[in-house]
Amino acid sequence: MVETLFFFLFAALAVVSAVMVISFRNPVHSVISLIICFFQIACLFLLLRAPFIAGAQIFVYVGAIMIFFVFAVFLLDIRTSMAKEKFSKWIVLGVPIALFFLIEIIALIAGGTFGQPSEEVTDISKLFSIGQNTEALGRVLFTKYLLPFEIISVVLLIGFVGAVVLTVKPRKED
């Protein structure tokens, strides 16, 4: 009963902070809201009795990626007036897409298929329930999901190099 209350508390705070990420005009405030959201997700992992994943959530996302976002925001000098102009141009496309996703979520919940784990998920959860979550995560990540893991590593590297390229100012010739 207490775990259920904490689940709803952490889930509600995660959703509220995620909405705040897209509603703030100041990019620094959005980044802070995203950090709060990541902490709430880490708390949800703790409720699932996965302390390693919760710690990895905090160290990797809050400690590394969010600091990367903050540096990118400061180095790129994002102007909110330009973002407002671009936002109004794309809202015609964004609203129907958001409504489509909302209808999909409602259909999943109403159809009763939402929350039913697949056979693959239950096999992994058996390993986690034994208490060997670090070993189970490593085994699954580096055997079955090795190619997606490597692809995501390359995508993150490309993002990092892209941010560096965008921030480098060309030298003026004397």
Domain ranges of the chain: 1-78
The sign one gets for the Cα dihedral 22, 30, 40, 134 is positive
More confident site: 45 or 94: 45
Quick one: pLDDT at residue 133? 67
Quick one: pLDDT at residue 123? 56
Quick one: pLDDT at residue 125? 57
Q: pLDDT-derived band of residue 129, with 50, 70 and 90 as boundaries? A: low
Domain 1-78 fold is Four Helix Bundle (Hemerythrin (Met), subunit A) (1.20.120)
Q: pLDDT-derived band of residue 40, with 50, 70 and 90 as boundaries? A: very high
Quick one: how far is CA 96 from the chain centroid? 23
Which of 59-63, 117-121, 154-158 is predicted least confidently? 117-121
What is the residue-averaged pLDDT of the chain? Answer: 76
Query: CA angle at residue 71 from 70 to 72, to 5 degrees?
Result: 90
The yes-or-no verdict on residue 111 having pLDDT over 70 is no
* CA distance readout (Å), 68 to 26, 53, 129, 171: 17, 21, 34, 24
The terminus-to-terminus CA distance of the chain in angstroms comes to: 72
Q: Please, how many CA atoms are within 13 Å of residue 46, restricted to the half-sphere of its CB?
A: 13
112: left (phi over 0), alpha (psi -120 to 50) or beta: left
Q: Rounded to 5 degrees, what are φ and ψ at 126?
A: -65, -40
How confident is the model over 110-136, as a mean pLDDT? 59
Q: In this structure, what DSSP letter does residue 26 have?
A: S
**Alpha-carbon gap, residue 52 to 164, rounded angstroms:** 31
**Alpha-carbon gap, residue 153 to 159, rounded angstroms:** 10
